[in-house]
Amino acid sequence: MGNNIILFNSNNKNHPTLETHIAYFTDNFEPIELKISNSKLKINAKEAKIDSILLLNSSPQTPLHLTILFELSSAINPNDLEFYKKVFEFYSSVSKLLFEKIDFVLIAEKPIFLSESYANKYKFDSLKSFEFTHKSDLNQLLNSPIFLNNQKGNNNAILLITKSLVKLNAKQLINYLSSNQAKFFHINLSDYNYSLYEELCNATNSVSIKLTELKNTEKILKISTYILSQGLYQRFYCSEILKIGKNLIEFDSGDDKDSLVINLYENDFPELEFKDNTYFFGILDSGIRKTITFKVQAKKSCSNHN
């Protein structure tokens, strides 16, 4: 038995403050609290000061009824289907103390419900020979009598895995999640950030993670299980000068450690300009010193690109 510490979703939206999310939990998915006094941080191999650690609190409601949704469209390739199979295998073996029931649903033009049987994991292999030409339609699931009946009287959670932009009435899903206090987690198989999924997560205080960011299937499966079942994760903040390109974040809790690479681009940094009218000195005689006070403001804010 051991502990799991996972860094994710780092951003500099409030430049120069760097915000990084972190999940810290046991192999039984029980939360572990971080302490600044025990923790160490490095940014690009240089020691950095942790300004604060914030615990995002939530009341766990286990066991949950979990519905896992897999996008099935022309965007999905054989490698994605291999990942789907790993998701199916992992969640089929998760403790019933966390998820009393799990529904696996392929989201094509219409939802395809899979039973939690050993034989069904091979269905993902058979899908490799099919060509899907239409967008996945999540609205069909939300209006499905089977889905609506399965959601009655349960502590519900949804894990959505997508690669492209599915057909979805965002307001309907947000209303469903909010009114039922259902949990939501999104895994993005694409390098692109779709505003629709950001809207869903922002409105429901949920998490979206790119598979390409963590680059580790086991990590992303564990963190989705932990956040869906416990709802607890932490954020730490530091004020460091980052660079355009790759930035390496290394965190050590004292007992466990993890690292994360955040890619930043020019538009991830604010562009500054002088505020109001600013007057500078003309020519000064040798040996003469003068000071001037001026204000600057952001001409543009940081982007949301990770």
CATH number for position 96: 3.40.50.410
Which pair of structure tokens corresponds to residue 267?
């538009």
User: What is residue 129's predicted lDDT score, i.e. its pLDDT?
Assistant: 87
Looking at the domain assignment, is residue 305 inside a domain? no
Query: Which of the residue ranges 71-80, 237-246, 262-271, 282-291 has the most confident prediction, judged by mean pLDDT?
Result: 71-80
Lowest mean per-residue pLDDT among 48-62, 231-245, 256-270: 48-62
User: Which tens digits make up the pLDDT trace of 19-77?
Assistant: 999 999 999 999 998 999 999 999 999 999 999 999 876 666 678 899 999 999 999 99
Among residues 223, 251, 222, the alpha carbon closest in space to that of 237 is found at 251
User: What is residue 54's predicted lDDT score, i.e. its pLDDT?
Assistant: 92
Cα gap 182→174, rounded to integer Å: 10
Residue 209 and residue 75 share a domain: yes
Say whether pLDDT at 236 is over 60. yes
Looking at the domain assignment, is residue 217 inside a domain? yes
Number of domains in the chain: 2
Write the CATH number for 256: 2.60.40
Question: What's the start-to-end Cα distance of the chain, in Å?
Answer: 33
Say whether pLDDT at 286 is over 80. no
* DSSP assignment of the chain: --EEEEEEEEEEEETTEEEEEEEEEETT--B----GGG-EEEETTEEE---EEEEE------SEEEEEEEE-STT--HHHHHHHHHHHHHHHTS-TTTEEEEEEEEESSSEEEE-S-GGGGGHHHHGGG----S--BHHHHHT-HHHHHHTTTS-EEEEEEESS--B--HHHHHHHHHHTT-EEEEEE-SSS--HHHHHHHHHHT-EEEEHHHH--HHHHHHHHHHHHHH--EEEEEEE----SEEEEEEEE-SS-EEEEEEEE-GGGSPEEEE-S---------TT--------EEEEE------
- pLDDT confidence band for 174 (50 / 70 / 90): very high
User: What is residue 306's predicted lDDT score, i.e. its pLDDT?
Assistant: 45
Residue 85 and residue 36 share a domain: no
User: Which tens digits make up the pLDDT trace of 202-233?
Assistant: 999 999 999 988 889 999 999 999 999 988 89
Q: In what order do the strands lie in the sheet with 17-26?
A: 3-14, 17-26, 233-239, 52-56
Residue 155 and residue 199 share a domain: yes
Higher pLDDT, residue 203 or 2: 203
Cα gap 12→71, rounded to integer Å: 30
Provide φ and ψ at 21, rounded to 5°: -90, 145
Looking at the domain assignment, is residue 242 inside a domain? yes
Looking at the domain assignment, is residue 20 inside a domain? yes
Last residue of a domain, one of 176, 210, 227: 227
Residue 243 and residue 145 share a domain: no
- pLDDT confidence band for 9 (50 / 70 / 90): very high
202 lies in which domain range? 64-227
Lowest mean per-residue pLDDT among 175-179, 277-281, 288-292: 277-281
Say whether pLDDT at 80 is over 70. yes
Cα gap 181→141, rounded to integer Å: 18
Higher pLDDT, residue 115 or 76: 76
Residue 47 and residue 143 share a domain: no
Residue 199 and residue 74 share a domain: yes
Looking at the domain assignment, is residue 293 inside a domain? no
Residue 98 and residue 127 share a domain: yes
Residue 223 and residue 88 share a domain: yes
Lowest mean per-residue pLDDT among 39-43, 97-101, 294-298: 294-298
User: What is residue 142's predicted lDDT score, i.e. its pLDDT?
Assistant: 94
Residue 132 and residue 44 share a domain: no
User: What is residue 131's predicted lDDT score, i.e. its pLDDT?
Assistant: 84
Among residues 297, 276, 306, 292, the alpha carbon closest in space to that of 9 is found at 306
Quick one: average pLDDT of 219-248? 92
Residue 177 and residue 70 share a domain: yes
Average pLDDT, the chain: 87
Last residue of a domain, one of 199, 227, 255: 227
Higher pLDDT, residue 286 or 219: 219
Residue 216 and residue 81 share a domain: yes
Looking at the domain assignment, is residue 296 inside a domain? no
User: What is residue 123's predicted lDDT score, i.e. its pLDDT?
Assistant: 86
- pLDDT confidence band for 132 (50 / 70 / 90): confident
Residue 252 and residue 132 share a domain: no
pLDDT above 70: percentage of residues in the chain: 85
- pLDDT confidence band for 149 (50 / 70 / 90): confident
